[in-house]
Structure 1
Amino acid sequence: MTRNPILTRTAALAGALLLAGCTAGGSGTSASKGDKVTLTFLTFETPNLDAKYWDAAIARASAKVPGVKIKKLVSPSADRTGYAKQLDSTGQFPDVMIGLNPAGFAEAGKLAPWTDKELATYGDPHANPYGGKVYQLPYAAQTTLVYYNKKDFAAAGIDTPPRTYRELVDDSVKLKKKGINPFVVGGGGKDSWADMFPLICTVATDVYKKTPDWLSQRADGKVKFTDKAFVTAAQKVAGLAGKGYIDRAGLSRSYADTEQAFRDGMGAMYPMGSWFSASADTKKPSFDTGVFAWPTDQGSPALPSVLGGGMTVSSKAPDVPLAKKWAKAFMEDQKNLDASVKADGLIIDIKGYTPPTTMGPVYKETLKAYRQAQKDDGIVNSFSQETGDGSLPPGVADKAAIGMQKLLSGGMTAKEFGVYMDEQWDKATR
C-alpha cells in the first residue's frame, strides 16, 4: 500500500538506484531499428512481493512482447506514488508503473489513458476514472478484514465472530479479562500507513455505508471531517486505544514486525488488508486464523475495498503502444496472476480468471467474505486508499496516517483529528 512519508529527494533517488541496480529514466528515446526499446518499470518490494517475485513476473511478460527491455526501479519505501513524483520532478518519470495513484498525474496529462478495447477483459473496466478516462488497469481488488486468533477467542469464551460493533467491544472486554491483548496494530517509522486499518474500517461502517460519495461531497464543501459522522468513526478507534484494547506499546512497530506480532500470538485480532491471507496460509502461525468483516452498529455489511492496483503508462514513454502492450502482458499473464494471488492474496477481477485450487483456508475465507459482501451490496470505498474522481487530494493520505499515530497514542482527540484532517485537505487543495 502507498501510505508512507517519503525520503528526501537525494536519499530516495540514491537508495532506489542502489536497490534496483539500474539507471532511472522516464521518457528516453527509442533504440535504433532492430534494437530493443528500453522501458523503465517502477515497482516496490514487500515481504510478500520480493525481488524474486518481480524478476520472474517481468521475465514472463517480456517473453510475450519482443522488442522490449525492462529496467526495474524499486521504490525505497511503500510510497511509490511519492517516489514517482520525485522522479518526475527530476525529469525521470518512469515509463510503466504498478500500484501508482494516478491522482495529479492523470490531470496533468502525464499518463496515457486506457481505451475501452484495452479494458474489455476487466470485470469493472471503468473503475476509478479521472474525468471519464481510466489510467490504471483495474485488475484486482483488495479489502480490509479482521483476522483473528481462534485459540484466543476460545480461551475468552467467544464462540463466533462479532456481528455488531457492540459485540466487537464486548469481545474485547472478554479478551482483556483473560489477559489477552485484543488488537494488534502497528505502523511506526516509514510504515505509518499500517496504522490506518482500524480507521479504514470505522469510516466504512459509519461514513461510507450511509454516504458512499462522502469524499466527493467533501470536495464540494458539503461535508467536513469535523462533522459528526467522521468524528464518530475516529472516536471509535480512539476509544479502543484509550481503553487498552489496542496496545499503544506496539504502535512503533514496523509493518513486518506488526504482522509477526500477530503471528506470534501477541494479540487476538489483526485488522489488515486481504494480502495478509496469503502470508497466513504460507507462514502459518501456531493457531488457526479466522476472518470477519469489521461490524457496523446494526450488523449490516460495509466492507472497505479498493479495485485497481494495475499498470499505468507514461504518456511520454519512448513507445507508448509498446509500453501498453507490455503492461497488459504483465497484468493478464496467467502465471503472473496466480503468483500475485499466492504471494499477495489478491482478488483478481479479470473475466474468466479463477484462483489456484491450492490456495489455503485463510485466503478462501477472505475471498468468501468479499464475494458475500458483493452479493449483499456491502462493498464500500476504502478510506485513504481511493483512486479516481472522489479521492483524497495527493499527500493527504500520508498526513492522515501521521495524525492516526497521535489519535491512537492519545495525543489527539477525535475532534482534533477532524480539525487536523480539514486543515490537511485545505492545504492540499489551495
Structure 2
Amino acid sequence: MTLTLTGCGAGSGDGDVTLKLIAADYGDSEANSSRHYWDNLAHEFEKKNPGIKVDVDVYSWTEVDKKVEDLVKAGKAPDMAQVGAYADYAARHQLYSTDKLLSIPTEADFTPGISDAGEYNRVQYGMPFGASTRRLFYNKKLFAKAGITSPPKTWDDIAHDAQLLKEHGVKMPFALPLGPEETQAETLLWMLGGGGGYTDTIGKYTIDSPQNIRTFQWLQKNLVAKGLTGEAPADVNRADAFQGFADGDVGMLNGHPTLMKQAEAKGVDYGTTELPGIDGKAKTTMGVADWMMAFKQPGHRSEVGKFLDFVYTTKNVLKFSSTYGLLPVTSSASQAMMSDDKYSKLHGFLEQLPHAQFYPADKTSWPLVSKTLKAKMGAAVGPRGNPSAVLTDIQNTADAADNTVG
C-alpha cells in the first residue's frame, strides 16, 4: 500500500519549493505506520520554513527500493529517499555528498561507526536512518527448567545448553534462521563469532576464509546434525524464529531490539547477552542501518539540507527510534537514550553500536552477494551440505561481481 503525505503546515499551498521524499514504512499496521511520523515532522518543518513544502510517499519495505529505482530510471528522481541501500546511486554520481547538504554540527553528530558505513570511495553519501545491533536472546523460564543458571558465553556453551533444552522437550533449542528472508544477517553474526566476516580491512571479500569455513563446519556438526536447531535452518526465516521465541518454543536465538516488544506482548520472560564466540564472547556484533540519501537531479540542495538538518535534530531522531524500537544514529540522541531509564532494555544494544560491524553496503556488488547468500547458506549446514564448497562458490560470485563493477 502506498501512503502519500501532503505537508499540511503553514505555507503548504504556496511554497516556493516542493521537496519529494520516498520513505520506507517501519510500522506493522496502519495505526503505527511511519506515515504518522512523517506527517507530523513535515507539518512542524513547514511551519518553521514557509517557503518549503514537503511531500512524502511512504511504501512498504517490499516496494520502496523498487519504487525509487523506477523513478530514477525514468528521470524523475525524488529529492530524497530513505531506503535500504545507497551505493549504486553514489557510484553513478547521482547523489549529493553529505558535506554539501548538512550543517557541520549535524554531520558531526552521526555515530562514528555508522557514519563510516555510509561512505562510497571514502566520501559519505548515505546518511544513517534507524539502526540496530544484535544480541543473544534466551528464554529464562526454559533455561530454569533445564537447569541452566547463566546465559552462554561461548559456542561450546550454546551447544551444551541447547542439548539440555532439547532433553527437556524444547521444540527449537537454538533457532538458526538461514531461510531466504534474512540469511545474510545470521551468516554474518556467526562469521563474527568465529573471528571472520564478509570483508577484510581494505574491503576485499573474505567469504571463504579459513575462519568462516570453520564456523559453518562447527554449526553443521555441533548444532544441526545433533537436532539442536529443531527444524532445518534452510526452512526457518527470521520471522518464524521470532514468532517461535514469542510463543515459548525457542530457547535461544540471535535477535534485534524489535524482538523485545514481540516477546513482551506474549509474556515471555527473556534475557539478552552479548554474542558468544568460538572461544569467548564475540569480539563484535553486527549492526544494521538504513539510509537517507539526496539526489542531485531535482536541484534543491539548499532546501534539502535545511530539511535534513531538521530531520536529524536530537528530538526527532529520538522520537523515531523510540517509536519503532530502533537505535538512534546520532551521538546526541544516543546520549539522551542512555541517560533515560525508560530505555534501559535498549542500553545493551546501544552500547554495542559504535563498534558494530555493518554489511559492506558501500560495495555495488553487495546486493548480488546478499541474494546469493540467501539462496545458498541454509543448505550449506544441512546433512548433505558442504560449507567449504558453498562459501567458495559465493566467494567466486562476489569476486566476479567486484571485477565487473571495477
Length-normalised TM-score, structure 1:
0.77
Q: Distance in 2 between matches of 1:265 and 1:251?
A: 21
Q: 2:116 aligns with which of 106, 121, 127?
A: 127
Partner residue, 1:398? 371
Q: Distance in 2 between matches of 1:83 and 1:411?
A: 40
Q: 1:71 to 1:38 in 2, by over 3 A?
A: same
Note if 1:95 corresponds to 2:79. yes
8 Å CA contact retained: 2:195, 2:283: no
Q: 1:77 aligns with which of 47, 57, 62?
A: 62
Note if 1:214 corresponds to 2:194. no
Q: Distance in 2 between matches of 1:87 and 1:395?
A: 21
8 Å CA contact retained: 1:40, 1:95: yes
Partner residue, 2:210? 228
Q: Distance in 2 between matches of 1:138 and 1:53?
A: 20
Q: 2:360 aligns with which of 357, 375, 386?
A: 386
Note if 1:269 corresponds to 2:243. no
| Residue type of the alignment partner of 2:312 | M
1:51-73 C-alpha deviation (Å, 9 max, x unpaired): 74412221232121432231314
Count, aligned residues:
383
| Residue type of the alignment partner of 1:287 | V
| Residue type of the alignment partner of 2:125 | Y
Q: 1:177 aligns with which of 167, 170, 182?
A: 167
| Residue type of the alignment partner of 1:74 | Y
Q: Distance in 1 between matches of 2:220 and 2:76?
A: 42
Note if 1:193 corresponds to 2:181. yes
Note if 1:204 corresponds to 2:192. yes
Q: What is the deviation of 1:231?
A: 0.9
Structure 1 gaps, min length 5: 1-17, 24-30
Out of 329-338 and 259-268, give the one that drifted further: 329-338
Q: 1:174 to 1:32 in 2, by over 3 A?
A: closer
Per residue, is there more helix in 1 or in 2? 2
Q: What is the deviation of 1:46?
A: 4.7
Q: Distance in 2 between matches of 1:250 and 1:298?
A: 23
Q: 1:186 to 1:103 in 2, by over 3 A?
A: same
1:226-281 C-alpha deviation (Å, 9 max, x unpaired): 33112112223333223222232575455444322210011111212233234444
Q: 1:19 to 1:151 in 2, by over 3 A?
A: same
Q: What is the deviation of 1:354?
A: 1.2
Note if 1:419 corresponds to 2:392. yes
Out of 237-246 and 351-360, give the one that drifted further: 351-360
Q: 1:346 to 1:369 in 2, by over 3 A?
A: closer
Q: Distance in 1 between matches of 2:304 and 2:24?
A: 15
Q: 1:159 to 1:194 in 2, by over 3 A?
A: same
8 Å CA contact retained: 2:138, 2:253: yes
Q: Distance in 1 between matches of 2:122 and 2:188?
A: 26
What percent identity do the matched residue pairs reach?
17
Note if 1:319 corresponds to 2:300. yes
Q: 1:86 to 1:141 in 2, by over 3 A?
A: same
1:358-390 C-alpha deviation (Å, 9 max, x unpaired): 636xxx34422552x57xx9x3414xx33336x
Q: What is the deviation of 1:75?
A: 4.2
8 Å CA contact retained: 1:295, 1:301: yes
8 Å CA contact retained: 2:314, 2:332: no
Partner residue, 1:164? 154
Q: Distance in 1 between matches of 2:313 and 2:371?
A: 31
Q: Distance in 1 between matches of 2:59 and 2:376?
A: 27
Q: Distance in 2 between matches of 1:268 and 1:243?
A: 15
8 Å CA contact retained: 1:185, 1:250: yes
| Residue type of the alignment partner of 1:412 | G
8 Å CA contact retained: 1:147, 1:290: yes
Q: 1:237 aligns with which of 219, 224, 240?
A: 219
Partner residue, 1:68? 53
Q: Distance in 1 between matches of 2:122 and 2:13?
A: 37
Q: Distance in 2 between matches of 1:412 and 1:232?
A: 14
Q: 1:280 to 1:328 in 2, by over 3 A?
A: farther
Q: 1:344 to 1:395 in 2, by over 3 A?
A: farther
1:107-150 C-alpha deviation (Å, 9 max, x unpaired): 21111111171402323285222222111224654211111110
Partner residue, 1:258? 241
Note if 1:328 corresponds to 2:314. no
> SS of the residue aligned with 2:89?
coil
Q: 1:213 to 1:199 in 2, by over 3 A?
A: closer
Structure 2 gaps, min length 5: 7-11
Q: What is the deviation of 1:74?
A: 0.8
Partner residue, 1:407? 380
Length-normalised TM-score, structure 2:
0.81
Out of 196-205 and 285-294, give the one that drifted further: 196-205
